[in-house]
Amino acid sequence: MMKEKRTIKLFNQSTISPYNQVTSEEKKNKDLPEEFRKYFWDCEFDELSIKKYPEFIAERVLNYGDLNSVKFLLSKVDIELIKMIISTSRNLNNKTRNFWRIMLYE
């Protein structure tokens, strides 16, 4: 019995196959560190830009990021934008929102 090759269509009709490997030279995000890939598993990481999607990236990092990723975020995004996200975003969970309010407002 031969195993059937499966392909999956995702994100703008790109084809991903378990038998095809994408090299690091072919796809590489220029704006975000490679360590951020784990926070954006559900979207096309190589197409993300901190200039294009600052709110989306900030919400993910504030919710799931570690200390280094938060430091990176603070170096790239204005603190007033982060405060606005904390007070208006529906994507932050309550514990995260309360934590960042305490950390940034006091």
What tens digit of pLDDT does each residue of 44-70 get?
999 999 999 999 999 999 999 999 999
Concatenated DSSP letters for the chain?
Answer: -PPPP--EEETTTEEE-TT----TTTS--SSS-GGGGGGGTTS-GGG--TTT-HHHHHHHHHHH--HHHHHHHHHHS-HHHHHHHHHH-SSS-HHHHHHHHHHHH-
**In the prediction, which pLDDT does 20 show?**
47
What tens digit of pLDDT does each residue of 1-55 get?
556 655 545 555 555 555 545 555 556 888 899 999 999 999 999 999 999 999 9
